[in-house]
Amino acid sequence: MKSIFKSTSKLLVAATLVMGFGASSLMAEVKDKFQVSWTIYVGWMPWDYAQQKGIIDKWAKKYGIEIEMVQVNDYIESINQYTAGKFDGCLMTNMDALTIPAAGGVDSTAVIMGDYSNGNDGILLKNKKNLTDIKGQTVNLVELSVSHYLLARALETVGMSEKDVKVLNTSDADMVAAWGTKDVTAMTTWNPQLSEIMAGNKDANLVFDSSKTPGEIIDMLVINTETLKDNPKLAKALTGAWFEVMALMKKGDEAALTFMAQASGTDLAGYKSQLDSTMMFYTPSDLLAFTTSAEIPATMKKVSEFSFEHGILGEGAPDAEFIGMAFPGGKTFGDPKNIKLRFDDTFVKMAAEGKL
Partner 1 sequence: MKRLMNLRPSKQSLFFLGLLPFVLVALFYLGASEVRLAANPDDKLLPSMSSFAEAIDRMALTPSKRTGEYLFVEDTVSSLERLGLGVLISAVLALLMGIPLGFIPFVRAGLSPFVAAFSMVPPMAILPILFIIFGMGELAKVALIVIGVTPLIVRDLQQRVMEIPVEQLIKAQTLGGTSWSIVLRVVLPQIFPRLLDAVRLTMGTAWIFLISAEAISATEGLGYRIFLVRRYLSMDVILPYVAWITFLAFLFDYLLKRFTYKVFPWYDAGKEQS
199 binds partner 1, rule: CB under 8 A = no
Q: Figure out which of the listed residues 37, 94, 99, 108 binds partner 1, where binding follows CB under 8 A.
A: 99
29 binds partner 1, rule: CB under 8 A = no
* Of residues 104 and 232, the one with the C-beta less far from partner 1: 104
Q: What angle do CA 40, 324, 107 make, to 5 degrees?
A: 50
d(CA 173, CA 1): 53
265 binds partner 1, rule: CB under 8 A = no
User: Other CB atoms closer than 10 Å to residue 117's CB: what's the count?
Assistant: 28
d(CA 75, CA 95): 13
Is residue 256 within 8 Å of 245, Cβ to Cβ?
yes
d(CA 302, CA 192): 26
* Of residues 77 and 267, the one with the C-beta less far from partner 1: 77
- In a 13 Å sphere around the CA of 252, the CA atoms on its Cβ side amount to 3
Q: Figure out which of the listed residues 93, 118, 145, 278 binds partner 1, where binding follows CB under 8 A.
A: 145
d(CA 51, CA 129): 43
Quick check: helix, strand or coil at residue 183? coil
Question: What is the dihedral sign for C-alpha 198, 94, 320, 290?
Answer: negative
Q: Figure out which of the listed residues 19, 199, 294, 298 binds partner 1, where binding follows CB under 8 A.
A: 19
**Count of positions (residues) in the chain:** 356
Q: Which stretch binds partner 1 (CB under 8 A): 108-116, 182-190, 194-202, 260-268?
A: 182-190
Q: Figure out which of the listed residues 10, 23, 29, 203 binds partner 1, where binding follows CB under 8 A.
A: 23
Q: Figure out which of the listed residues 60, 165, 178, 256 binds partner 1, where binding follows CB under 8 A.
A: 178
Q: Figure out which of the listed residues 7, 52, 127, 171 binds partner 1, where binding follows CB under 8 A.
A: 171
Least distance CB 27 / partner 1 (angstroms): 7
76 binds partner 1, rule: CB under 8 A = yes
d(CA 315, CA 177): 35
What is the contact surface with partner 1 in residues (CB under 8 A)?
1, 8, 12-13, 15-16, 19-20, 23-24, 26-27, 76, 80, 83-84, 99-100, 103-106, 140, 143-145, 166-171, 174, 176-178, 180-184, 311-312, 314-315
